[in-house]
Amino acid sequence: MSKKILVISTDFGTERDELVVPVDKLKGLGHDVTVATPNGEPVQTVLSDKDWDLEFPVDGKLSGYTSTDFDVIVLPGGTVNSDNARLDTEILDQLKKQAGAGRTVAAICHAPWALIDAGLAPNKNLTSYTSVRIDLENAGATWHDVPVQICNTDEWTLITSRNPGDLDPFIEAIDQA
């Protein structure tokens, strides 16, 4: 069954494979995938958080996709991207609307930081990049060191993964959500 998926990123510092691989593979599986940034600018990706890589095109500004009719919202990681995303009220509002509508959110690597600032981390079982663990636990989440964690508490589904090495199970969980 085809899903409507919204990938939300900021325009800088997104780990390339955590954006490009899910977008390409989810489209290849027949899903309708939209990529948006708050300002509508392309995403400057990075490799290992430090080396600039390709500029990834987006479909438009996040404000053009503010309805809650997406089956899944995907948040790619990258330290700079994730740190900026957690401060962006438009991204946080979209996450709150998605969870409030009982729909799925998927976040990889550092991206679960945004869940803290959106108030969505408490009572969730999740995983992330190791350095984010203490932040998530302090916010009331239970952290697990597994390739993919699926949590259905609080009437919405959260799918999380640790790093680019976990992309295959992460994408599979999104496909099956």
In the chain, % helix, strand, coil (3-state, to 5) comes to 35, 30, 35
Euclidean distance between CA atoms 118 and 26, whole angstroms = 26
Pairing mode of beta strands 158-161, 148-151: antiparallel
The catalytic position among 31, 109, 144, 151 is: 109
The DSSP secondary-structure symbol of 63 reads G
Element (H, E) at 126: strand 125-126
Question: Exposed, middle or buried: residue 146 (CB in 10 Å: 0-12, 13-18, 19+)?
Answer: middle
Distance, in Å, from the CA atom of 98 to the CA atom of 95, rounded to the nearest integer, reads: 5
109 is catalytic: yes
Told to judge if 144 belongs to the known catalytic residues of this protein, a careful annotator would answer no
Active-site hit among 31, 110, 144, 151: 110
For 13, the enclosing helix (H) or strand (E) is: strand 12-15
Active site residues: 109-110
